[in-house]
Amino acid sequence: MTPLQDRTLFRFFRDVLRHSVTGSLRYHLWMGSLTFLMALGTYAYLIQLNKGLGVTGMSDYVSWGLYISNFTFLVGIAAASVMLVLPAYILHDVDFSKAVLIGEGLAVTALLMCLAFVTVDMGGPHRLWHMIPKIGYFNWPQSMLTWDVIVLNGYLALNLLIPFYILFSHYRGRSPKKALYVPFIMFSVFWAVSIHLATAFLYAGLPSRPYWNNALLGPRFLASAFAGGPALMILILHFIKQNTDFPIAEETIRKLALIVTVAAQINLVMLGSELFKEFYAPTHHSQSATYLFFGLKGHKPLVPIIWTAILLNVFATLLFTFHRTRNNKPILLVSCTLLFAAIYLEKGMGLVVPGFIPSPLGEIVDYFPTWIEIAVTIGIWALGFFVFTLLVKAAIAIEKEYETHHRSEPH
């Protein structure tokens, strides 16, 4: 270990790097498998770069597919980290203070994955510099996509800056100054809501696609994110608790479960409201929903997906709602997994693809992702797991060392 007085920024990064390359055989196997999957994704992406986006299942009819579905879902996961930050820093709920660093790591990871998914979806990724203000032509404030670029990158910066400051202070054996970082945390709380609203407005601002052009889309994005994100956090915290001696209070998981419960219930209320609007008095604008839930003119590829998602969603929400099932750890883990899967299916393929069907001229063309899209998607998820593992491993090591030396000091 580097002596405390020699701990510079350079040594911080050197020690972080050392933490990331040392570990058990299981750790190396895990990182090795992820590297293999990333290589597979890279291979598929190179084919796509070379031949064009025509190697995907997308077409002029369904012009966004698996990539943008994953992007939309992951913005929600990034935004959900606010559900840990808010109680930990602002309500001074000490229970969350350990989990919050992990939450911020998850936000950073989800944002990197978002940026990766957007980049692989571009027809001209090498022309992305056209978006840089002043040098290029940044069509702000007209284009919602430019708003999304601002809020996502801003949120990424905030979620890198805050944990970096706390970890670097702890690394140097110091207590971080609240006056320095709490204002940024307050800011990040509002910012988190804005990233998911901006992403929802990207869709909701298109009158050409009645399925998305819906005032409930933004709130529903938030509700589903605040259910799915913390559900994933519970699974991660449980895994960390089981596999390391990083102290995570059982209370943290219990409170997170409560957050998931409320958000999942609100999400179901909104789903019911949407279904009522689409199917009580169906109009021409209900065709996309009809395509999604029941199929249209014999085309029904998404029907099994959406009903699986709804059943899982309702079942998981019920398990969360009853105290007995929520407080039972093995059942809680199952319901978290089911809910996460349900929201991934519903918000991914269930939101983006039916918005394009039928086309504005009434034509129905289905969308099926190709192996290239699936391989690239798996590669980006592997990248996410890889980055998250690195971030969390380093954070835990630094925090544990700080704890052993400064046990008496409050956070």
Partner 1 sequence: MSRTKAFLFGQTAEHQPPEEYTYPLLPPPQSTQAASASPSSTSACAAPSSCGCQPPKPTAVDTPYKALLKADLQEAEPADGISRREMLQHLLIGVAATAAVASGCSENLEKGSLNWEEYFKKNYRVMTAQERTDTVQRLERLAQMRNEKKPSIQTKNAIPGVLYGYAFNISKCKGYMDCVEACIKENNLDRKSGMQYIRMFEIEKGKFNVNLDHADGTYHHEVPAAGHVYMGTQCFQCENPPCVAVCPVGATWKEDDGIVVIDYDWCIGCRYCQSACPYWARRFNWHEPVVPNTEVNPIQHYLGNRKRKKGVMEKCTFCIQRSRDGKLPACAEACPTGARVFGNLLDPNSEIRYVLANKKVFRLKEDLGTEPKFWYFMD
Closest CA to 317 of 269, 250, 252: 269
Considering the complex, state which of residue 65 and residue 163 has its C-beta at the smaller distance from partner 1. Answer: 65
With CB under 8 A as the contact rule, which of the stretches 6-14, 74-82, 142-150, 334-342 interacts with partner 1? 142-150
CB of 276 to partner 1, least distance (A): 23
From the number of C-beta atoms within 10 Å of its C-beta (0-12, 13-18, 19+), residue 179 rates as: exposed
Phi, psi of 357 (to 5 degrees): -125, 125
* Residue 267 near residue 347 (C-beta atoms within 8 A): no
Q: Which of residues 20, 59, 321, 325 is near partner 1 by CB under 8 A?
A: 59
CB of 296 to partner 1, least distance (A): 11
- Dist. CA 213–CA 279, nearest whole Å: 16
Q: Tell me which stretch binds partner 1 (CB under 8 A): 144-152, 254-262, 270-278, 335-343.
A: 144-152
Q: Which of 6, 60, 304, 410 binds partner 1 (CB under 8 A)?
A: 60
The residue among 318, 373, 371 whose CA lies nearest residue 348 is 373
State which of positions 387-406 bind partner 1 (CB under 8 A).
none
User: Cβ of residue 42: shortest distance to partner 1, in angstroms?
Assistant: 19
CA dihedral 301, 303, 304, 306 (to 10 degrees): 120
State the DSSP string of 216-242. Answer: THHHHHHHHHHHHHHHHHHHHHHHHHH
Other CB atoms within 10 A of residue 43 CB: 13
Binding to partner 1, residues 146-165 (CB under 8 A): 146, 149
Minimum Å distance from CB 344 to partner 1?
22
Name the residue among 198, 194, 237, 219 with its Cα closest to residue 105: 237
What are the two backbone dihedrals, phi and then psi, of residue 296, each rounded to the nearest 5 degrees? -130, 125
Strand partners, 296: 299
Question: Taking CB under 8 A as the rule, does residue 364 contact partner 1?
Answer: no
Instruction: State the Cα–Cα distance between residues 245 and 400, nearest whole angstrom.
Output: 9
Shortest distance (Å) from residue 183 CB to partner 1: 30
The answer to whether residue 239 forms part of the interface with partner 1 (CB under 8 A) is no
Residue 299 main-chain phi, psi, to 5 deg: -95, 115
What the block records as the tokens of 143 is 């284009």
Task: For residue 286, state whether it binds partner 1 (rule: CB under 8 A).
Answer: no
Q: Which of 84, 82, 151 is nearest to 114 (CA)?
A: 151
- With CB under 8 A as the contact rule, the residue among 32, 136, 247, 272 that binds partner 1 is 136
* Binding-site string for partner 1 from residue 86 to residue 125, where x marks contact by CB under 8 A and - marks none: --------------------------------x--xxxxx
Binding-site member from 5, 24, 142, 242 for partner 1 (CB under 8 A): 142
CB of 212 to partner 1, least distance (A): 9
Residue 53 binds to partner 1 (criterion: CB under 8 A): yes
- 9 vs 132 by CB, closer to partner 1: 132
Least distance from partner 1 to the Cβ atom of residue 78, Å:
20
- Tell whether residue 356 is a contact of partner 1 (CB under 8 A): yes
Q: Does the protein bind partner 1 through residue 365 (CB under 8 A)?
A: no
Does position 355 bind partner 1 by CB under 8 A? Answer: yes
- The footprint of partner 1 on this chain (CB under 8 A) covers a number of residues equal to 44
C-alpha separations of 43 from 46, 47, 52, 110, 244 in Å: 5, 7, 14, 22, 34
Q: Where are the alpha helices (DSSP H) in 297-370?
A: 303-321, 323-326, 329-347, 349-352
Angle, CA of 288, 291 and 297, to the nearest 5°:
120
Determine the interface stretch with partner 1 among 207-215, 224-232, 313-321, 390-398 (rule: CB under 8 A).
207-215
Q: Which is nearer to partner 1, 6 or 60 (CB)?
A: 60
Which residues contact partner 1 by CB under 8 A?
Answer: 51-54, 58-60, 63-64, 118, 121-128, 130-131, 136-139, 142-146, 149, 202, 205-209, 284, 355-356, 359-363
